[in-house]
Every structure is written in C-alpha cells, then in structure tokens.
Structure 1
Amino acid sequence: MTGFITSLSDPAMLASVLAALAMFATILSLTMPLLKGDRLETRLKQVTTQRERLRRANRDALEKRGLKKDNSGRISEITGKLNLQKMLEDPNVERKLIQAGMRGPRPLAIFYFCRFVLPMAMALVSFLYIFFVNDLGLNPQMKIGGVVFGAAFGFYAPNLYVSNKAQKRQHSIMRAFPDALDMLLICVESGMSIELAFAKVGAEIGAVSVELAEEFQLTTAELAYLQERRTAYENLAMRTGHEGVKSVCMALMQAERYGTPLGDALRVMAKENRDMRMSEAEKKAAALPAKLTVPMILFFLPVLFLVVLGPAYIKYQEMQAKNYATTEVGD
C-alpha cells in the first residue's frame, strides 16, 4: 500500500497516467459519432411513422362519422335505373348539398328522387282536392292552373329545403367563427401546427356550433391525407359558402405559399370577422324599427287608444247618465 502511494507521488507515473487518460478521451471522442449513427434520419423516420398513423386515424374517423357514404339503398337503385341524375341534372346541386351538410352520393340520389316524385305527387293531391274535395268555385282554367302550381311547387320544394338548411347551417357556423379564429390564433402562436390547431379548436368549439366543429375536424383530416394543403382550405371555403371563411382560407393559402407567419394572418382575419359580426348585428338593429311598424299599428296603437280614451269615455257616459236622471226628476 505504501509502495502504491509512493508511485502516485512520482512525477513520471503521474505523467504516464495523464497521457493514458488523454489518449482514451481522444479515441472516445473520435469513435462516438460513429457509434451514435444518424439521429436525424431516425427522427425523420419517427415523424413519418407518426404522420402515417395520424392519417390512418383521421381516415377511420371519417368513415365512423359517416362522412364517406356509399350509394346503396332502394332509392339509389331507382335513381340509377331511371337515370334521374342525368335527366334532372343541376350543376350546383352537389355544392348546395355539401353546404347543407349532406355529403356523399346517397343524399344526391335522394334529392333527384324527390325532385322526380314530388311534382307528380303534389299534382295528384291538388287534382283530387280541387276537382273532388272542394272546387272553391273556380273555373276549369283556374283549376288546371292550381294543378300546375302544385306540380311546380313539388319540383322546387327540394331546392327550397336544401337552401333553407344550408342557410341555417351557415348562420350557425358564422356565429361561432370569430371566436374559433381567436382560439386558432392562440393555438398557432403557442407553437402548435395548423393540423393540431384545427383539431383542438374543433374539439373545443363543438359546445357552441356543432357544424363548425364538424367542418374543422374534416379539415384536419384533409390536411393529414391530402397532398396539398391548398385543396383542404379550398374545400373548407366551398363547404361553408361564406365570404368571411373564404377570406380566411385565402389568407392561410397565401401564408403557406409565401412563408408568412400564420399568426399575423389569423390576427387580421379574426379582427375582420369580429367587425363583420358586429356590422351584421348593427344592421339588424337598424332594421328593427321598420319591422316593428306594422305590429305597432296592428297591436300596440289600438291598446294605447283604449287605455287613453277609455277612462274619458266612461266619465262621459257617467255624466250623460246623471244628466238624464236629473231631467227625469225635473219632469
């Protein structure tokens, strides 16, 4: 033990030990990069695997929610056999159905089936009512006109239903869209990707607008599996059919193309949509006095006249009764 301690105090021994440690450290520093391998390639493979997994999950979510519908069913078979889609072709009907939230070939087949059947059904009902139930005192020409009007109403009834449903859906989307943009801006500025931001906002905004949450979740899925983000943004603008959403999608496409910060674009678009919502509210408030004119004339003014002139009329009647009684006593 004493010899070992003595050897450690020897300068030559210490120099040998330090030289050996320096050589070991040099060899280790030279061989470590070879032992580590390509970490960048490994991480890129992990990212690719994760992206593919998310893509499959989004596709499964689309199928579970029924967004990918088949064209099976009795109505679809009848529509295909009669070739109603070609006979009653409307180039804008598919876009209108998508804006109303009815996606896939099955709603399209039902639409054309209703457009084919309802005119005949409404014409038959009008004919039976006018000619057999109650003729309403009409001449033959007016009776025929009533039947034709019933057929025309049956032909345009599906369009009216789809347009009304699309308008209600658009109103629900735009009512919550400015708040959704604010949430999207917070998510993007916190470091989230645009796909995760759409998914997060879609999950949170469902309590306010189910339709907007559905559109955001569908956009998330399209961003995951479509080759170009531009297509996903264009589909979102087409499905909503509102100028505010179109401007936001255009800003997102420009940010993707030119590399500008998404936060700045979303901040500007959020402010514009809030101003748009405020202007719509001010427009409705400004139109309220004109809309209340007829109800005031029909309901408020008669009651007001009754309240104001009623006591005076009662007082006048009492005075007339007293004068009549005094005249009777005098006679």
Structure 2
Amino acid sequence: MFDIITQPQNLIAMTVTLACFATALSIAMPLLAKDPLEGRMKSVALERDKLRARERAKIQADKQKAGQRVGAKKAEANSAITGLVEKLNLRTALADENTEAMLVHAGYRGSKPLFIFLALRFALPLVFLALTAIYLLFLSERTEGDTMTIGIKCLVAGAIGFYLPILVVKQKMKARQLSISQSWPDALDLSLICVESGMSIEVAFRKVASEIGAQSPPLAEELMITTAELSFLQERKHAYDNLVYRTGLESVKNVVLSLVQSEKYGTPLSVALRVLSQENRDTRMAMAEKKAAGLGPKLTVPMMICFLPVLFCVILGPAVIRTMAEFE
C-alpha cells in the first residue's frame, strides 16, 4: 500500500487533486461565507425602512386630524355664515338679480361665495363704524361740539364698509373680463387650427385651454369647464350658454351663437371660426386705435403742467438774465 502511494505517478495525481480541491475551496469560500457587514447593513436598512414607515404613518395621521379639524372649522364657519344670511334674510335685502351674475363674472361660482358676500356686506359696515367710533372717541383728541362731526365720520366709514365688497368684486370682474377679452382672439385662432386639423370642438377647446393657460388663466378655466359640460350635459347648447353667462362678454356671445347655429344646421365649423376670429382681431385693433386716438386729449394737462413750464424757462431764461444784468 505504501509502495503504491509512494509511486511518482500516484504522488503527482494526489498533488494535482489536492491542488484542484484547494483552488475550488478558495473560490467557493467567499461565496459560502456570510459577510457580517452585509448583514448589519441589511438590518440597518430594515430598521430605517421601519422608522420611515412609522414616521410616514404618524405624519399622515396628523394630516388627517388637521384636515378633519380644518374641515370641521370650515363647515362650522360656512354653517354660521349660511345661518346668518338665512336668519336675517340678507339675500332679499342686499342681493338682486345682478349680484349672483356679478360674482360669477368675477370667478366666484356657487352659493357659498354669495353667502360670504352678503355676510361681508352686513358685517363690514358695523365693523368699520365701530372701529371709527372707538378711534374718534377714545384714541384721538377731540374738542367739545364734535359730536356731529364724529357721527358723520362714523356714517361715512359705515358706507365705505357697505360698498367695499361691491367695489372689490367689480374690480375683480373687470380684470377677469379684460384678461378673457384680450386672449379670446388668440383662442379662436388656435381653435380654428385645431378644427381644420380634424379635431372636434371638445378636443380643440381642451388643447386651446392647455396652450392659452399661461396667457390667460381665467379663459383656460372657462374653456375646460365648457369642455366638461359639452361631454356631460344632454343639450350642448346649455354648455355654450353657460360659457356666455360665466364670462358676460359680447364677443364670446357672438362666437357661441355661431357655434350653436353651426351645429344646428350642419354648416362647416371652420368657416364660422375663421370669420369670427377675423372679426375679433379687427375689434381688438379698433380698440387699440381708439385708445391711441384718445391719448392726445389726455396728454394736454400733463404737458401744460410738466412740459410747458420747463420750455418757458429754457426760452425766456436767457432773456430774463440779460435784462436783469443790464438793470444792475
């Protein structure tokens, strides 16, 4: 047995076998051995994920609680405002048929803005009157016999508080209508391009709303609402009429009439849009020319106050200086 093992060829075979086994073992050892660092990293990652999930759940719960509190407060405030308006019958006393239309033209839709508007018209005069009375009676110096003056000032403050909501809403309405009217011809041009490319009027309005939003957000909003109403309302005419009601513009009304007639009688929509877009461009140019024509009379007073005195000083100044020098 020992002789067989000690034979050269057997020794070589055993050496090669041991070498192969050692090589295979050295290659397999890193794969079979568990890295303690990797295990620790995995445990740390799992713990971090658990902490994140716990914090996320906590934040979500806090947001839900805060949202519920805010929602409850808003509901209580809305119910209080609604109760005040209905109890005092402010809708009959302070609102007419044009009040709701004015709010809609300003971008305030629904019954909630109407109730808030009526509540402000009722509360602001009292607040302004009370603050003015407190200031005049207790915080400012007054002399005897100023009772009538104080009463007049308090009444003026109350009148300002009464008409302030109307002025604010009208200003918002004018700014909104100006934004829509300035961008309306461009919207018609884009609608014409979309319709001539084969799009329906709903798809065209949606595309125009996405493109015109940077130029006029109110117009983009109205077009998106009209697109939704065209898809859901049974009568498409109602959607167009609602667009006219929300904007309150004559140019929009003319376009809507043409769209309704085009869909009713089957006339080409692109022809109507082309004519209307050209008319709106002409109208916008006429308005610009009108403003330019009225610029001359408006500049008369500023020129008389600011420009002519300087001109007279430049022209007559040297002569006056020479005359004064001769008399000296």
Output the TM-score relative to the length of structure 1.
Answer: 0.70
The answer for the alignment partner of 2:259 in structure 1 is 252
Unpaired runs of at least 5, structure 2: 1-72
Cα drift, residue 313 of structure 1: 2.1
Cα drift, residue 93 of structure 1: 1.9
Higher Cα Rg, which structure: 2
The answer for the alignment partner of 1:96 in structure 2 is 102
Change (3 A) 1:255 1:135: farther
Instruction: State the alpha-carbon separation in 2 of the partners of residues 313 and 136 from structure 1.
Output: 52
Unpaired runs of at least 5, structure 1: 1-70, 322-331
The answer for the alignment partner of 1:227 in structure 2 is 234
Which digits, 9 at most, give the CA deviation of each residue in 1:181-223, with x for residues without a partner? 0111111111100000000111111121111111111111111
The answer for the alignment partner of 1:112 in structure 2 is 118
AA aligned opposite 2:79 = E
Instruction: State the alpha-carbon separation in 2 of the partners of residues 264 and 222 from structure 1.
Output: 24
Cα drift, residue 112 of structure 1: 1.5
Instruction: State the alpha-carbon separation in 1 of the partners of residues 200 and 324 from structure 2.
Output: 82
The answer for the alignment partner of 2:215 in structure 1 is 208
After superposition, where does 1:178-193 map in structure 2 within 5 Å? Answer: 178-193=185-200
The answer for the alignment partner of 2:250 in structure 1 is 243
Change (3 A) 1:89 1:72: farther
Instruction: State the alpha-carbon separation in 2 of the partners of residues 178 and 188 from structure 1.
Output: 15
Cα drift, residue 230 of structure 1: 0.5
Q: Bigger shift: 294-303 or 245-254?
A: 294-303
Q: Secondary structure at the match of 2:294?
A: helix
Output the TM-score relative to the length of structure 2.
Answer: 0.71
User: How much is the aligned-residue C-alpha RMSD, in angstroms?
Assistant: 2.2
Aligned residue pair count: 251
Change (3 A) 1:108 1:307: same
Q: Bigger shift: 286-295 or 137-146?
A: 137-146
2:286 maps to 1:284: no
The answer for the alignment partner of 2:39 in structure 1 is none
1:129–1:135: 8 Å Cα contact kept in structure 2? no
AA aligned opposite 2:303 = M
The answer for the alignment partner of 1:318 in structure 2 is 325
Which digits, 9 at most, give the CA deviation of each residue in 1:282-316, with x for residues without a partner? 11111111111221222122122122222222233
Instruction: State the alpha-carbon separation in 2 of the partners of residues 137 and 163 from structure 1.
Output: 41
Which digits, 9 at most, give the CA deviation of each residue in 1:165-195, with x for residues without a partner? 0101111111111111011111111110000
